[in-house]
Amino acid sequence: MQVKVNGEIKEVKGRKRVGEILEELGLNREEVLVIKNGELLTESEWVEENEEIEVMRVVSGG
């Protein structure tokens, strides 16, 4: 599957739950939102191999 993280595309293999994808990419669930087809996904949701998701970082600094 393709995972867009802040505009950068990352490839993740296989069918996985959102929580597993975040873990694989080293992302903290408290610091992101995961979006598929314009909808928010919870960490327990499955993402199929042929699907695309977007990870939006939510932490602002300064």
* Min CB(22)–other proteins separation in Å: 10
Torsion-angle region of 59 (φ positive above 0: left; ψ -120 to 50: alpha; else: beta): beta
Binding interface with other proteins (CB under 8 A): 28-33, 35, 39-45, 56, 58-62
Q: Running DSSP on this structure, what letter comes out for residue 44?
A: T
By beta-carbon proximity to other proteins, the closer residue of 11 and 39 is 39
Residues 49 and 15: beta-carbon distance below 8 Å: yes
* Min CB(31)–other proteins separation in Å: 6
* Min CB(40)–other proteins separation in Å: 4
Alpha helix stretches (DSSP H) within 1-62: 18-24
